[in-house]
A = this chain, B = another copy of it.
């Protein structure tokens, strides 16, 4: 099983599963749940060749389990997973049958995934051990960052990524939609953003695509938190709307798509820029139902603002430094979003450094543990991204697995401010050819760290379970790469 549940009891008693007459029973009729049953009626019963280990014998023939009761306390058709939504469930397999109980549909989804991982098979039949599980996550924010600006990812691939998240109980897709290189997201208010900003016309997410992605994500218990990074990493905003950015970098040639070139910042002295951002974010607020936005704020090269016009503006408005200018920009946008759009705001840690007191709702820390510690020490919620950069290709799963998000020497109240973390798949060298390969084996390690109890750290045990888990991805059609030699699925 991956990730390990909070509490698990299993016995050697085994029940044969009747997969032919398999049925789900749910006291509450809910369409999200019905769609999940359809998915899991396939995922429960993969090709039996996938299970190669030795099996206990002889098998009892009675009772046979042919029903899973999924008992959700409350559900409505408009249920939406949000930050902090209860994901707990209990799971029971015994003489009296198999059942999952949960406060809501999202806990039931977690239980269904766990149930799918409890089923094994020999050459003759599927079976399951007598089991009692009480499970809930250690951290509420368990994310995967995807970056669709450095390379486009096709919509069907994003849907697979969402399904892949659910296999490891990852509940947050941090969608770094845009960046300096390209602007692949349709805006109807400012259509030149994507018409001029996308790499290619066929590399744009239409608003219909976004709706599909967001809905598919909710079906899998995954929030979609969009990131609109500003004021830096903004070159692509300027392709269609020249006034938006200060031109600071030049391309070496038509084949230069390196990050430096994408790092033009927005112009914080131009009122049109703020009006534009407000209109754009208002449009986005209705596209993305999650009640969080990520507004970036990382890596501003303030020297790009060293222009005659900007310097004059600063002089005229008594802005003493580029630091002040940066802070001004962040505050302007922040005030609008908080007042008008009803979104909570995550920022990269640079914004924590630029606003005192911090004006967001969580600091996403990409730099190091000391910074995370200083964030929570000030009573501010934090998300760990450092140490979990999936684009650091030399870092293997175990380096990710070893990371403990709660720093040493903090109070329980401070520890409670660590909301969780994210694996970040920055995509400078990742596209549809290699995303799945690079991500799943390693992000699974992060997912267990964020879901399972702190004490789940045994490497040898994790190797065995992770071998199966990466195979599970493969069998489900996602080509996660291996982390050690071996025969593959077995």
Contact = CB atoms under 8 A, between A and B. Distances in A.
A303 interface: no
Given A253-B464, A255-B463, A463-B255, A481 B433 contact: yes
Contacts of A488: 151-152, 199, 431
Interface in A254-268: 254-259, 262
Contact of A487 (B182, B253, B258, B486): B182
Contact of A254 (B53, B258, B394, B437): B53
Interface string A452-474: 00000000100110010000001
A79 B433 CA distance: 37
A157 to B, nearest CB: 12
A203 B433 contact: no
A393 interface: yes
B257 A485 contact: yes
B434 A203 contact: no
A222 B378 CA distance: 64
A464 to B, nearest CB: 4
A438 B460 CA distance: 27
A200 interface: yes
Contacts of A431: 481-482, 488
B482 A433 contact: yes
Contacts of A460: 252-253
Copies of this chain, whole number: 2
A88 to B, nearest CB: 31
A373 interface: no
Interface in A355-392: none
A181 interface: yes
A480 interface: yes
A475 to B, nearest CB: 12
Interface stretch (A115-123, A340-348, A422-430): A422-430
A283 to B, nearest CB: 25
Contacts of A490: 199-200
Contacts of A181: 485-486
Contacts of A437: 433-434, 437
B485 A259 contact: yes
A484 B428 contact: yes
Interface string A175-194: 00000011000000000000
Contact of A484 (B53, B182, B258, B463): B258
A243 interface: no
B485 A258 contact: yes
B253 A485 contact: no
B433 A200 contact: no
Given A255-B467, A393-B393, A486-B257, A481 B434 contact: yes
Contacts of A140: none
Nearest to A470: B433
Residue from the set A394, A427, A481 with the largest chain B CB neighbour count within 10 Å? A481
Contacts of A107: none
A53 B149 CA distance: 20
A483 interface: yes
Given A393-B393, A487-B199, A429 B482 contact: yes
A479 interface: yes
A37 to B, nearest CB: 29
A206 to B, nearest CB: 18
Nearest to A489: B200
Given A255-B464, A433-B474, A433-B481, 6 more contacts: A149-B485, A151-B485, A151-B488, A429-B481, A430-B481, A433-B482
4 closest Cβ pairs, A-B complex: A199-B487, A150-B485, A433-B479, A257-B485
26 contacts: A53-B254, A151-B488, A181-B486, A199-B486, A199-B488, A199-B490, A203-B487, A252-B460, A253-B460, A253-B464, A254-B464, A255-B464, A255-B467, A255-B486, A256-B463, A257-B486, A258-B485, A428-B485, A429-B483, A430-B481, A430-B482, A431-B482, A433-B482, A434-B434, A434-B438, A434-B481
